[in-house]
Amino acid sequence: MDKDTKELALHLLIQKQSDLHLTYELIERETGYSKRQLIRLSSDLQEKDMESIMTHGNAGRKPVTTASDQEVSYLREMKKPYPLITVAQFRDIFIEDVIENPKKKSEVKKYRLKPRSISWFRELFIKEGWTSPAQKAIREEGSHVTHPIRKPRPCRGELVQIDGTPFDWFGDGRVYTLHLAVDDATTEVLAGWFMPTECTRGYCRMMRLILEKYGVPEALYSDRDSVFRSVKGGGITQYAMMMEDLHIQTIFALSAQSKGRIERYNGTAQLRLPNDIKRFGINHDYNELNKWFNDFYIKYMNRKFAFTPLDPHDAFICLPKDFDYSEVFRIRETRRMSHNMFSYKTAMYSLFNSDGELMTFQDKTTVNIYTDVFTEELYAIRYGKRYSCMQVGENARDKSQKIENQKDLQEFLNDYRRKK
């Protein structure tokens, strides 16, 4: 309340001492003070005069939240490695790496550092002219479109949202896609994998981590990217076939807003992860980043942002320890044999059994060809038996290496065995 209102309240309270008809309720209506506040002022009048009460006890003093020059200088130096950082993340780094760090006790004492609130850091950003990238853009009048809010699933593992977000994570000009999975019930990040582009292999790597850590989810929630849904009518993608093998249902989102949990996390990752990569000293190596992200960073972020599901039941189904992932995560194609060879990615291959013997087929025989997603091994399965595929010819456009018939193939094999 302002000074004039406080003064009126005090006058009315003094008058109340001699006027029995003047009640706290009447003074409340006149001043806006609550009954508790008025009782406190009445108590003050028993011990102090009106002038003393009107003068604030902290008048002329600096607020206790005012930072020392040493503290502000320390924070300025701390901010330099992070030109683009949110207020919340900068405070997290300050609290975790400085205030709660036993190795920083001497610095905390020397610079008179304190565990400041988020509002204090927000004011510091304003005073220092630092911009937080988390500020939302102002919408033009009439441009706001509302979308129905989809309630989260009650059980963990009942629905997993997946998406890919491309970004320059190291700030070195290389854009890689983070293939990400977030549990719908908890917003818990389950796994992530970085690849140069959004692709089937990236989602396979991500899904295998989920299967190993948690088990098989009931359903996936994705956009209509060509990895999940064939652009050719009626077809089924390689990834969709793998999910069918695992009996995982795929649900397609009708809009980005309907899979808001993972969309929000994509934004959070783009804001926080580049700074945390610097903070934790990750080298410019995406292999190292993949390991660190799944071994450490997911747990770190889940402690901050994940929450307890409505239903404690876990819908994930655990796989046996000896589960053969290569039986699921493989690219499936068919080829026709010609002169005991087939063409695959501009090269010629033949099939060999476990004893290294060439397998012979009638021309135009159809064989099922598989590529292991993780090892990239090429092999064939026919009548339940597995055969290795050996490249016997180079690019068909390279005439010097072209194998066209059985005679050419035999000569190649004889030469190969002599060298071996």
Domain interval for residue 288: 155-314
If asked whether residues 39 and 102 sit together in one domain, one would say: no
If asked whether residues 9 and 94 sit together in one domain, one would say: no
Whether 16 shows a pLDDT value over 60: the answer reads yes
Q: Tell me, yes or no, whether 193 lies in a domain.
A: yes
pLDDT at 420 (0 to 100): 56
What does the pLDDT look like over 327-386, one tens digit per residue?
999 999 999 998 899 999 889 999 999 898 999 999 999 999 999 999 999 999 998 899
What does the pLDDT look like over 46-76, one tens digit per residue?
877 777 777 765 544 555 567 789 999 999 9
What does the pLDDT look like over 223-282, one tens digit per residue?
877 787 776 666 788 999 999 999 999 988 776 666 677 888 888 999 999 999 999 999
Of the pLDDT bands very low, low, confident and very high (cuts 50, 70, 90), residue 137 is: very low
Q: Tell me, yes or no, whether 307 lies in a domain.
A: yes
* Final residue of a structural domain among 245, 280, 314: 314
Chain position carrying tokens 């013997």:
357
Q: Which residues pair with 182 in a beta bridge?
A: 161, 189
pLDDT at 139 (0 to 100): 43
If asked whether residues 220 and 363 sit together in one domain, one would say: no
DSSP 139-199: PPTT-----PPPPPPSEETS-EEEEEEEE-TTSSS--EEEEEEEETTT--EEEEEEESS--
Question: Is the CB of residue 193 less than 8 Å from the CB of residue 206?
Answer: yes
Whether 399 shows a pLDDT value over 50: the answer reads no
Q: Tell me, yes or no, whether 384 lies in a domain.
A: yes
If asked whether residues 31 and 102 sit together in one domain, one would say: no
If asked whether residues 243 and 283 sit together in one domain, one would say: yes
Q: Tell me, yes or no, whether 149 lies in a domain.
A: no
Q: Is the pTM of this model over 0.85?
A: no
How would you classify the pairing of strands 347-352 and 189-195? Answer: unpaired
Whether 304 shows a pLDDT value over 80: the answer reads yes
DSSP 204-251: HHHHHHHHHHT-B-SEEEE---TTTS-SSTT---HHHHHHHHTT-EEE
What does the pLDDT look like over 172-219, one tens digit per residue?
999 999 999 999 999 999 999 999 999 999 999 999 999 999 999 999
What does the pLDDT look like over 92-104, one tens digit per residue?
999 999 999 999 9
If asked whether residues 95 and 159 sit together in one domain, one would say: no
- The number of folded domains in the chain is 4
pLDDT at 407 (0 to 100): 61
Q: Tell me, yes or no, whether 140 lies in a domain.
A: no
- Of the two residues 150 and 335, the one the predictor is more confident about is 335
Percent of the chain at pLDDT > 70 equals 84
Provide the mean pLDDT of the chain.
86
Whether 415 shows a pLDDT value over 50: the answer reads yes
Segment 391-396 mean pLDDT: 73
How would you classify the pairing of strands 155-156 and 189-195? Answer: unpaired
Whether 417 shows a pLDDT value over 80: the answer reads no
